[in-house]
Structures are given as structure tokens and as C-alpha cells.
Amino acid sequence: MLELRVGKLNNNKLKHKSLSIRKIDFNTTAEFTDKPSNELWQSVFEHNNDDANNFFNSFLNIYLQIFYSCFPKISVNRSSSTNQWITKGVINSCKRKNYLFLLTRNNNDLQLKEHYKRYSKVLSQVVRTAKILHHNNQIAQLKNTIETTWNIIKNETVRNNTVYNNINSRLSDREQNEKSQCRNF
């Protein structure tokens, strides 16, 4: 299911526990492709004057009504962030890094590109240090340090395991296909 976030997300909205998104999936997309063909578009052409703005506004109103009916807003409760180590400073630094990236993408200034590279390296060091400090605080606060350590390891490596499992499943599928082809000979 594809989720479309509505509106800008700023630091004030991060405090709220729900988020409005539009439900976009196969069924709603199919409905959205069918509804315009069933719509009577006569109201677009009913204006007496030949003003392009009126034509466009009436078309846009109908189109948006179809869009809003097919892709309704739903309120989703935001789960607690798994990245509890992220601070406001790290968020602001990431936004700054993205801004610098946009500047360097269309600019041939070597000093600006060097500044972006240095900023990225420093930011990655800050993120790594923030993670380490957060994990050290978690281990220090809890009594069962071994279990906490293993939970941290599981949380940090879960992304890599899914990729590894996908690769293994593809390899096993390929091996099974090869075995079935060999049997057919």
C-alpha cells in the first residue's frame, strides 16, 4: 500500500500522535482510473463565456471531487519512533544536508561540493556517536545488560537480515528451478 503524506511535516507536528494520509492501493487506484470515464463533463462546458479560467476551475473541481472520494484521508496513529537517538539537532542537520545536496546537484562550484562532502562526513560521525550514546544509556539503565545488548543488536541488524533473507530466498528459488529443469531432460 502506497501512502501519501498530506501537508508539510514540521517539528510542531511531530508532537502529535496521529498523521493524516491518503489511502492509495490497487483498489482505490483502479476506482480512480474508472470514475473519470463515468463522469459527465458537461458542467465544464456549460459556461456561457469562453474564459479559460472558468473551464479550468470547473474541470479541477470535478477532478478533485473524484480524487478525494477515491483516496480518502485516514488518520494513522504514529508509533513510537524506533530511532530514539535522533535529536532535533540531528534532524536539523539532515535538513541542512539535504539543502546542500540540492545546491550541489545543479552547481559546478567545487568549494560547495567539498563543503557538502565534509558536512556529510561530520553528520555521519554525529549520527554514529548519537547511536552509541543512546545504546550505552540503554544498557546502563537496565539491569539485564546481556538481554538489552542482544535486543540492540537485533534492532540494528534487522534491516540487513531482510536483505540477506531475500537474497537467500532468490538463490533457493533459482536452485529449485535449475533442479526442475534438470529433471525435465
Q: Sign (positive/negative) of CA torsion 158, 160, 162, 168?
A: negative
Contact yes or no for 10/34 (Cβ under 8 A): no
Q: Tell me the percentage of the chain whose pLDDT exceeds 90.
A: 21
Alpha-helix residue ranges (DSSP H) falling in 19-73: 26-38, 42-45, 52-70
Kind of pairing between the strands at 18-24 and 2-5 = antiparallel
Contact yes or no for 39/66 (Cβ under 8 A): yes
- Domain containing residue 41: 2-77
In a domain, 58, yes or no: yes
**Final residue of a domain: which of 54, 77, 100?**
77
Check pLDDT > 60 for residue 80.
Answer: no
Q: Which residue has the higher pLDDT, 125 or 184?
A: 125
pLDDT (0 to 100) of residue 6 = 45
Match 465544464 to its residue by C-alpha cell.
44
As a whole number, mean pLDDT of residues 27-51 equals 82
Domains held by the chain: number: 2
What's the mean pLDDT when you consider all of the chain? Answer: 77
Q: Do residues 67 and 92 both lie within one domain?
A: no
Q: Do residues 16 and 67 both lie within one domain?
A: yes
